[in-house]
Amino acid sequence: MEPTTESTDASIRRGVPQGSETRVAALYWEAFGRKLGAALNPPDKARAFLAAHLHHDRGVVALVDGEVAGVAGYQLDKRGLTGGGAGDVLSTYGTLRGLPRLALLALLERRPADGELVMDGIAVAPEHRGKGIGGLLLREIAAVAAEHSCRRVRLDVIDVNPRARALYERHGFTAVRTEKTPYLRDLMGFGAVTTMRRPITQDAATNRREAR
């Protein structure tokens, strides 16, 4: 992996800007389409579904020249970046095709424990990778967690995404368990999911304010 350098042209803001839903959905799908494909394919419909059901206040974005270059989603108070309930899935895909999709999405669902912020995922546009944007987004997520009195941030990373795992490890996440999922390898393209955690102190919020 090439070494990363701190980005000098990206600004970090909380909340998905109005009008950038399609862009954010495309970035999210590029990063996680392999994982979500069986539940939301075909890709065009999946991206439209994600864009239509984003929770704008559950994302942190990196902007470069006014365009979203990266996004990180998180769950708090039972709401995450990617929304859309059972009714939305059935309305979009139909009852017969929608019901098995709901079952697949349920396999991927992760709920926060008390005092825990769960990340939905992080995605950076290919042309902006290697500039430190992922680290900036993770730093802001840590600040969000600290401001909500969370003791830790939790995320899941699949075995076919070693680049993401390396990023998380560089920013203080450690693996706590790995769940083998061989039954999902043919269906969703991965055979194991590793849960990682990063402890959070109130210094995260302080460091964020001082960095601005």
pLDDT digits (tens, 9 = 90+) for 102-143: 998 887 788 888 899 999 889 999 999 999 999 999 999 999
Question: Which tokens in the block code for residue 151?
Answer: 């003791």
What pLDDT sits at residue 2? Answer: 37
Sole residue written with tokens 């399609």: 22
Q: Do 18 and 56 touch, CB atoms closer than 8 A?
A: yes
Kindly report the pTM of this predicted structure.
0.86
pLDDT beneath 70, residues of the chain: 1-8, 187, 202-212
pLDDT digits (tens, 9 = 90+) for 76-93: 888 999 999 999 999 999
